């Protein structure tokens, strides 16, 4: 049986953090060793440069992978310490590294991998002792100082990883709570409406049945929209399906306003944009606009407006409200994942994905989504190309 997905996700995050630290430390170490090598050129020093350089290359490569492998980096680390200890004639250097490897391996690898890498590092320690120049065992003081130094480094590293793990655990709890809260409302509505239909079907008129069915469709659309946001948030942009074509923006805007009207208490005024088209995926455009209107309902002022106009080769659709706006220092942060509950205290249950996803979708369609606060109005502006890209046009 494999590890739980949550544990695997944590290990990937911790591995990414670990590799980032290893690359930075490796680069600094390489610079120092290069300086030492140039100060007095010897074969041993240049071999040390090559060993540290190879370790840096391995870690840099693993860091760029979508699924980095911690065990590869740890094998490189044990090998580097082993070779350096033998070349420099300081076998205790190898044994001291074992402290760091034991702690790190147990945190970011599986149990079998941790046992394997610890055994591999221990083998290097034994080899270093057997190949020491004077054949003796390093002094107790040297052992104590070296192990204490590596122990301190390991402790700092583990504290950093533990804090990251705690952050991920809090984030996981927040995601579960937010998704549960936002799904509960439409699901409760669906259950209630379906129960009314089941219990009173024979007593309801055709118009009443039609009204209940319309409400069922609306509630199910809300739940589907949330699920679609979650799927979009974890799907790489290059794997996102886009069916772009010339789109009548006024028609799409009217569709979205009608769709969200029952769920939004504030009046939405649509201004300008008659006949304006853009080259976009209509489904994705509606998803962006729905997210912006939901955002305005939760955090904006009482008046919401949608304006659209052509500016150069782009169509610009602005969703504005007269709310208090976002502080200047946080205006880019609102587009980061899981920032929704930080926009205000009235809706702490917000999942915080809408603006992140909306910007990703806009950029995937060769447009953008930006925020400004001008003359007492919060302005979210969607920009989309008017025409298809020339390369795409040429290829067709």
Report the pLDDT averaged over residues 368-391.
Answer: 88
Same domain, residue pair 203 and 249: no
- What is the pLDDT, as a whole number, of residue 280? 94
Report the pLDDT averaged over residues 201-209.
Answer: 85
Report the pLDDT averaged over residues 95-112.
Answer: 76
- What is the pLDDT, as a whole number, of residue 306? 95
Same domain, residue pair 385 and 283: yes
- What is the pLDDT, as a whole number, of residue 349? 45
What CATH number is given to the structural domain containing 234? 1.10.287.130
| Domain annotation covers residue 260 | yes
Residue after which a domain boundary falls, among 239, 255, 283: 239
Same domain, residue pair 340 and 254: yes
- What is the pLDDT, as a whole number, of residue 347? 47
Report the pLDDT averaged over residues 67-83.
Answer: 83
Cα(354)–Cα(371) distance, integer angstroms: 14
**Which contiguous run of DSSP H or E holds residue 372?**
strand 368-374
Same domain, residue pair 202 and 98: no
Helices (H), the chain: 5-39, 43-64, 70-88, 91-108, 111-130, 140-200, 206-234, 249-260, 282-299, 354-364, 390-395
Residue after which a domain boundary falls, among 224, 239, 254: 239
pLDDT exceeds cutoff 90 at 381? yes
Same domain, residue pair 199 and 266: no
User: Which residues 6+ apart lie within 8 Å of 14 measured at CB?
Assistant: 70, 107, 108, 161, 164, 165
Domain that holds residue 223: 178-239
Same domain, residue pair 59 and 109: yes
- The number of domains in the chain is 3
pLDDT exceeds cutoff 80 at 57? yes
| Domain annotation covers residue 143 | no
Same domain, residue pair 219 and 259: no
| Domain annotation covers residue 151 | no
Q: What is the pLDDT of residues 312-362, one digit of tens each?
A: 999 999 999 998 888 888 888 788 765 554 444 444 445 567 788 889 889
Q: What is the pLDDT of residues 2-54, one digit of tens each?
A: 444 445 556 677 788 788 888 888 888 888 878 777 776 677 778 888 888 88
Q: What is the dihedral of CA 40, 43, 49, 54, to 10 degrees?
A: 170
Residue 261 three-state SS? helix
| Domain annotation covers residue 326 | yes
| Domain annotation covers residue 327 | yes
Q: What is the pLDDT of residues 113-168, one digit of tens each?
A: 888 888 887 777 777 666 654 544 444 455 455 555 555 665 566 666 666 666 66
Same domain, residue pair 391 and 250: yes
Report the pLDDT averaged over residues 72-95.
Answer: 75
**Which contiguous run of DSSP H or E holds residue 330?**
none
Same domain, residue pair 266 and 312: yes
- What is the pLDDT, as a whole number, of residue 298? 84
Same domain, residue pair 269 and 211: no
Residue after which a domain boundary falls, among 84, 118, 138: 138
Same domain, residue pair 256 and 232: no
- What is the pLDDT, as a whole number, of residue 138? 47
| Domain annotation covers residue 389 | yes
Cα(293)–Cα(304) distance, integer angstroms: 8
Same domain, residue pair 230 and 277: no
| Domain annotation covers residue 59 | yes
Sign of CA dihedral 358, 362, 363, 365: positive
| Domain annotation covers residue 160 | no
């Amino acid at each position: 049986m494999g590890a739980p997905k949550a544990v695997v996700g944590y290990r990937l995050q911790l591995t990414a953090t670990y590799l980032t630290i290893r690359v930075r430390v490796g680069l600094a170490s390489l610079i120092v060793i290069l300086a030492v090598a140039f100060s007095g050129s010897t074969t041993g020093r240049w071999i040390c440069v090559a060993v540290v350089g190879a370790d840096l290359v391995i870690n840099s490569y693993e860091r760029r992978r979508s699924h980095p492998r911690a065990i590869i980096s740890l094998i490189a680390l044990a090998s580097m310490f082993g070779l350096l200890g033998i070349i420099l004639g300081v076998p205790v250097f190898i044994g001291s590294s074992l402290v760091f490897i034991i702690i790190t391996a147990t945190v970011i690898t599986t149990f079998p991998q941790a046992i394997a890498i610890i055994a591999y590092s221990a083998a290097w320690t034994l080899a270093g002792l057997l190949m020491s120049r004077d054949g003796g065992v390093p002094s107790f003081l040297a052992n104590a100082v070296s192990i204490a130094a590596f122990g301190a480094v390991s402790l700092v590293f583990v504290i950093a990883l533990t804090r990251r793990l705690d952050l991920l655990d809090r984030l996981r709890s927040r995601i579960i709570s937010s998704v549960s809260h936002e799904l509960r409302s439409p699901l409760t509505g669906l259950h209630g409406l379906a129960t009314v239909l089941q219990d009173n079907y024979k007593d309801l008129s055709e118009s009443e049945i039609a009204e209940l069915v319309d409400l069922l469709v609306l509630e199910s659309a809300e739940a589907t929209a949330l699920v679609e946001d979650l799927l979009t948030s974890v799907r790489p942009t290059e794997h996102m399906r886009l069916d772009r074509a010339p789109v009548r923006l006024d028609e799409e805007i009217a569709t979205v306003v009608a769709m969200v009207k029952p769920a939004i208490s504030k009046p939405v005024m649509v201004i300008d944009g008659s006949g304006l088209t853009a080259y976009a995926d209509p489904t994705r455009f509606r998803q962006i606009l729905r997210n912006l209107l939901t955002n305005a309902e939760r955090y904006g002022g009482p008046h919401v407006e949608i304006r659209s106009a052509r500016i150069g080769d782009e169509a610009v659709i602005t969703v504005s409200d007269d709310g208090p706006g976002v502080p200047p220092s946080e205006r880019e942060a609102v587009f980061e994942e899981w920032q929704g509950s930080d926009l205000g205290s009235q809706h702490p249950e917000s999942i915080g994905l809408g603006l992140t996803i909306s910007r990703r979708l806009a950029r995937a369609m060769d447009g953008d989504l930006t925020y400004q606060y001008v003359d007492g109005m919060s302005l979210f502006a969607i920009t989309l190309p008017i025409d298809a890209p020339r390369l795409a046009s040429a290829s067709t």
